[in-house]
Amino acid sequence: MSLDAVLARIDADLPQSLDRLLELLRIPSISTDPAFKADCARAADWLVEDLKALGFEASVRPTPGHPMVVAHGGEGDKHLLFYGHYDVQPVDPLSLWDRDPFDPEVQDTPKGRVIRARGSSDDKGQLMTFLEACRAWKAVHGSLPVKLTIFLEGEEESGSPSLIPFMQANAKELQADIALICDTGLFGDKTPAIVTMLRGLLGEEMTIHAANKDLHSGMYGGAAQNPIRVLTRILGGLHDAKGHVTVPHFYDGVSELPDAIRQQWQSLAFDHASFLGDIGLSVPAGEQDRTPLEMLWSRPTAEINGIWGGYTGDGFKTVLPAEAHAKVSFRLVGEQDPDALRKNFRAWFEAQLPADCTVDWKNHGNSPAGVMAISDPAFEAARVALGQEWGVPAAYVGCGGSIPIAGYFKTYLDMDAMLIGFGRDDDQIHSPNEKYDLECFHKGIRSWARILEKLA
Amino acid sequence: MSLDAVLARIDADLPQSLDRLLELLRIPSISTDPAFKADCARAADWLVEDLKALGFEASVRPTPGHPMVVAHGGEGDKHLLFYGHYDVQPVDPLSLWDRDPFDPEVQDTPKGRVIRARGSSDDKGQLMTFLEACRAWKAVHGSLPVKLTIFLEGEEESGSPSLIPFMQANAKELQADIALICDTGLFGDKTPAIVTMLRGLLGEEMTIHAANKDLHSGMYGGAAQNPIRVLTRILGGLHDAKGHVTVPHFYDGVSELPDAIRQQWQSLAFDHASFLGDIGLSVPAGEQDRTPLEMLWSRPTAEINGIWGGYTGDGFKTVLPAEAHAKVSFRLVGEQDPDALRKNFRAWFEAQLPADCTVDWKNHGNSPAGVMAISDPAFEAARVALGQEWGVPAAYVGCGGSIPIAGYFKTYLDMDAMLIGFGRDDDQIHSPNEKYDLECFHKGIRSWARILEKLA
């Protein structure tokens, strides 16, 4: 099967591919707002029709929330599952948009042509790169090069409440050799990337109780416990002077990077100055013996995401409050055990409480880190294909955030996942004036065509 | 001049004294609420009329806010100024009152008869103890035993905005040998007390800035500064393990207690267990080498009165905020210099800021500690008079809070002040169901009669 003909077909068909994407972008499929329920259904229907046109056996699959789209097609020894989501983020504040978020337009900008609309990058533009690659294969060869399951979700931007139950109920139907997830980005503007390390997340909320009511600091200050003081003292000791987390056993399960990955990361042109400079900072604040990329991708963190207590309004009130609160999260890597960490963190915290203070805990959930099995030859095949399309070697990268879907494929379907996407850092996903570079759309389609050929 | 006859007259006239107080209590002179402006004026007028009836040359003195009442009367070498306030706290939540706060009633309770009404203790009942003592002197002897200036304020419960300008504009008229302030309480239920040490107060608010916007902890966590972490680390070090404040030079100007005062305090039956037990605590939390009374009365403190930053709502948000905030106050004693402390605190804080962080300060004012010149024989004379009335020696006590008026007499009129009052801890001032014990009212009047005799 000739790849060159497929790539040529993709180039020739780009205007039509773009028209199809714009049509999908006109559907305001905001999943979190019930007012757009019918639009979400319309987006799912549109995709089913498009998949049928590509020869898939496709259907809308109801859930208690927005429907899933599932499609099957192609033949071959290799069986791939492709995941994307057709729902989009809300658009408020609408006043910050330069045009209607659901009236997409291709615009010329100093950095090239962009597709401007809500969902252009996250995730309609990205998921359509895969469908357009399939279309080109089908057009040139009359068939798909592999056996394919397409699995599109409509609740990714609203917490995916139906996803796990659906995966569990349809585990057999969704089984494949490996999952392809297109919801991530390039490294920098030009380097294709496969995310192979995802940090996990653990959330805790604590309330320290001291006196049985708010006290006047003139009447009681000095003699009575102040829970804010207790909270700052304990949380102020969460890191040592070198930025290491002080909770006992915190680093259990955290491995050093494999040499191959370390060398790849060293060769990545990570613009550390602009990474921090863009947000008004200059000095990496984490573990002082780690590079910024390590801090973000392969090292665990502890952060205080919220703190409150006492009087926080205008003016001043000399109160010793009865309670003080904080929300703390941990980013997990490698084999860190979330349950053990929660236990160790609480024990560490409680051991530092003075007399007369108690603490209540609220568990805000957790997910373990994801580490992809890059020993599977599919990873190296995809990496080579991406390098050929983009002209620079593709990188195995980490992701500082958590992308739960990757873990779900592993947990509920026992499948590894390859996270490959073509977004850029300036796509403004979740923000006004979201865009997707036309180059990313075009080369994204070509990338998938190459990957399908390599994996077939 | 016979004191016994005056005391007998006070006893005989108690029903009439009580009627007058109830009449004053019926005027809802809430100073902070503009809806009660006319009532405040009515209370001032009522007092002027009463003072005139006592032979004072009395007048209502307008201010930009509520009026002052100033009266002059009596003759003699000794010239005393008496201060009280006729305004009262708001009454909300009204639903927690057992009856109309401005329909006063004398009630029998298991602990004795009480006068129940807003302002009964703070401060109408207290200020009337002095006027009733004057009335008895006048009735028995036809004249007052000393030269007297009466100075009554109507804005004490709303920040006294007109007080300092009025003192400055009328400094000569308000001059006297010493000021008597009746707005404090007994020690415990039975021990008369003269407040001779008042803690000062210094308020600071800080905002730490890090990144130029809120960040996602998945994208930036580990590499970017988190201002909440910085704030907790610095404020968590505000005290050492023994409860001492760590700001350099913080204890400059803090003296050890004079032996005589220390001995007095040791003899006071301070019920430390119930002081903390009533608020659900058991272990004094301040400087571990000090007694609870010292912690409250003669030792300086640093407290965090408010803290906030990041996400504080329901659920969880993995944000690294751009800013974090706190309000910190210091209680000052002895000769601590508020200006120096502010400078030292800010320098101490700023020296601990990491790269990329800045801090903005908001100055919430300050007042130095008040230490009364108990070497003035008037103090010992008043102490003896109080001991004779109450049957137990009167104590020179400290006050954990700040009573700015005492400092103002010193600063603006160069007068010392004696703070003598007859409130009890369970008077519920500023709260629903405020009361003043009839015993306190009665013995308060008698106390002033004795003090006037001793000071004449």
The position carrying tokens 């992809």 is A372
Closest Cβ–Cβ partner in A285, A307, A331 for B307: A307
Tell me the chain B residues in contact with residue A314 when contact means C-beta distances shorter than 8 Å. none
Higher pLDDT pick, A275 / B116: B116
Nearest CA among A226, A344, A216 for reference residue B235: A226
Residue A328 bridge partners (DSSP): A204, A304
The whole model's pTM is what?
0.85
- Give me chain B's average pLDDT, please: 95
Closest Cβ–Cβ partner in B285, B320, B327 for A303: B320
Q: Tens digit of pLDDT for each residue in A48-61?
A: 999 999 999 999 99
Tell me the chain B residues in contact with residue A365 when contact means C-beta distances shorter than 8 Å. 316
A331/B221 Cβ within 8 A: yes
Query: Residue A124: its pLDDT value, please?
Result: 98
Distance CA B90, CA B97 (A): 12
- The alpha carbon of residue A220 and the mean position of all alpha carbons in its chain are separated, in whole angstroms, by 48
Q: How far is B306 from chain A (nearest CA, A)?
A: 4
Closest Cβ–Cβ partner in A236, A315, A399 for B235: A236
A299/B311 Cβ within 8 A: no
Q: Taking 90 as the threshold, does the pLDDT of residue A430 lie above it? A: no
* CA closest to A201 among chain B residues: B218
User: Range with the lowest mean pLDDT among A34-43, A330-339, B60-69, B366-375?
Assistant: B366-375
Q: How far is B111 from chain A (nearest CA, A)?
A: 23
Q: Taking 80 as the threshold, does the pLDDT of residue A1 lie above it? A: no
Closest Cβ–Cβ partner in A218, A224, A296 for B281: A224
Query: Residue A290: its pLDDT value, please?
Result: 92
Distance CA B69, CA B151 (A): 6
Closest Cβ–Cβ partner in B211, B223, B280 for A286: B223
A308/B223 Cβ within 8 A: no
Tell me the chain B residues in contact with residue A237 when contact means C-beta distances shorter than 8 Å. 233, 236
Q: Taking 90 as the threshold, does the pLDDT of residue A271 lie above it? A: no
Residues 6+ apart with CB under 8 A from B139: B9, B13
Query: Residue B1: its pLDDT value, please?
Result: 58
Tell me the chain B residues in contact with residue A281 when contact means C-beta distances shorter than 8 Å. 210-211, 224-225, 356
Distance CA B352, CA B221 (A): 21
Q: Taking 90 as the threshold, does the pLDDT of residue A218 lie above it? A: no
Query: Residue B387: its pLDDT value, please?
Result: 97
B233/A234 Cβ within 8 A: no
Report residue B325's pLDDT band, with 50, 70 and 90 as the boundaries. Answer: very high
Residues 6+ apart with CB under 8 A from B274: none
Residues 6+ apart with CB under 8 A from B313: none
Q: Tell me the mean pLDDT in the region B299-322.
A: 93
| Strands, sheet with B358-367, edge to edge from the N-terminal-most edge strand | A358-367, A200-209, A323-332, A301-310, B301-310, B323-332, B200-209, B358-367
User: Range with the lowest mean pLDDT among A56-60, A165-169, B331-335?
Assistant: B331-335
Query: Residue B316: its pLDDT value, please?
Result: 86
Query: Residue A2: its pLDDT value, please?
Result: 87
Closest Cβ–Cβ partner in A220, A222, A303 for B221: A303
B327/A310 Cβ within 8 A: yes
Closest Cβ–Cβ partner in A210, A233, A401 for B218: A401
Cβ contacts below 8 Å, chain A against chain B, sum to: 276
Using an 8 Å Cβ cutoff, are A432 and A96 in contact?
yes
Query: Residue A190: its pLDDT value, please?
Result: 93
Closest Cβ–Cβ partner in B221, B305, B309 for A311: B305
Nearest CA among A90, A113, A112, A109 for reference residue A101: A90
The position carrying tokens 């003296």 is B255
Query: Residue A97: its pLDDT value, please?
Result: 94
Using an 8 Å Cβ cutoff, are A66 and A41 in contact?
yes
* Residue to test with chain B: of A229, A239, A282, A357, most B Cβ within 10 A: A229
Distances (CA, A) of A46 to A52, A166, B75, B106: 10, 21, 100, 80
A400/B296 Cβ within 8 A: no
Q: How far is B232 from chain A (nearest CA, A)?
A: 4
Using an 8 Å Cβ cutoff, are B204 and B364 in contact?
yes
Report residue A351's pLDDT band, with 50, 70 and 90 as the boundaries. Answer: very high
Using an 8 Å Cβ cutoff, are A388 and A450 in contact?
yes
- Give me chain A's average pLDDT, please: 95
Residues 6+ apart with CB under 8 A from A205: A325, A326, A327, A328, A361, A362, A364, B316
Tell me the chain A residues in contact with residue B305 when contact means C-beta distances shorter than 8 Å. 217, 228, 310-311, 316-321
Using an 8 Å Cβ cutoff, are A265 and A257 in contact?
yes
What domains does chain B contain, in order, with CATH numbers? 3-198+369-455 (3.40.630.10), 200-254+300-367 (3.30.70.360)
* CA closest to A316 among chain B residues: B364
Tell me the chain A residues in contact with residue B216 when contact means C-beta distances shorter than 8 Å. 401
Q: Where does residue A95 rank: exposed (0-12), middle (13-18), buried (19+ CB within 10 A)? A: exposed
Query: Residue B45: its pLDDT value, please?
Result: 98
A237/B236 Cβ within 8 A: yes
Q: Tens digit of pLDDT for each residue in A99-148?
A: 999 999 999 999 999 999 999 999 999 999 999 999 999 999 999 999 99
Q: How far is B5 from chain A (nearest CA, A)?
A: 39
Nearest CA among A74, A51, A55 for reference residue A146: A74
Question: A118: how many CB neighbours lie within 10 A of its CB?
Answer: 27
Distance CA B151, CA B132 (A): 15
Query: Residue B400: its pLDDT value, please?
Result: 85
Closest Cβ–Cβ partner in B212, B287, B304 for A232: B304
* CA closest to A210 among chain B residues: B281
Residue B148 bridge partners (DSSP): B73, B80
Tell me the chain A residues in contact with residue B213 when contact means C-beta distances shorter than 8 Å. 279-280
Distance CA B357, CA A243 (A): 16
Distance CA A295, CA A188 (A): 17
ipTM of the complex: 0.85
Q: Tens digit of pLDDT for each residue in B138-167?
A: 999 999 999 999 999 999 998 899 999 999
Query: Residue A401: its pLDDT value, please?
Result: 82
* CA closest to A244 among chain B residues: B222
Q: Tell me the mean pLDDT in the region B35-39.
A: 97
* Residue to test with chain B: of A199, A205, A214, A281, most B Cβ within 10 A: A281
A401/B212 Cβ within 8 A: no
Distance CA A108, CA A111 (A): 8
Q: Taking 90 as the threshold, does the pLDDT of residue A407 lie above it? A: no
Residue A83 bridge partners (DSSP): A151, A181
- Rounded-to-5 percentages of helix, strand, coil across chain B: 40, 25, 40
B301/A331 Cβ within 8 A: no
Distances (CA, A) of B192 to B122, B185, B423: 17, 8, 10
Q: Tens digit of pLDDT for each residue in B235-277?
A: 999 999 999 999 999 999 999 998 988 998 988 878 888 889 9
Query: Residue B441: its pLDDT value, please?
Result: 98
Residues 6+ apart with CB under 8 A from B21: B104, B115, B120, B124, B125, B128, B441
Return the SS3 of A235.
Answer: helix
Its sign, for the CA torsion B184, B188, B192, B198, is negative
* CA closest to B317 among chain A residues: A305
User: Which two tokens mark A300?
Assistant: 């665990």
Q: Tens digit of pLDDT for each residue in B177-211?
A: 999 999 999 998 999 999 999 999 999 999 999 99
Residue type, B283: V
Query: Residue B430: its pLDDT value, please?
Result: 87
Distance CA A211, CA B244 (A): 21
Tell me the chain B residues in contact with residue A296 when contact means C-beta distances shorter than 8 Å. 219-223
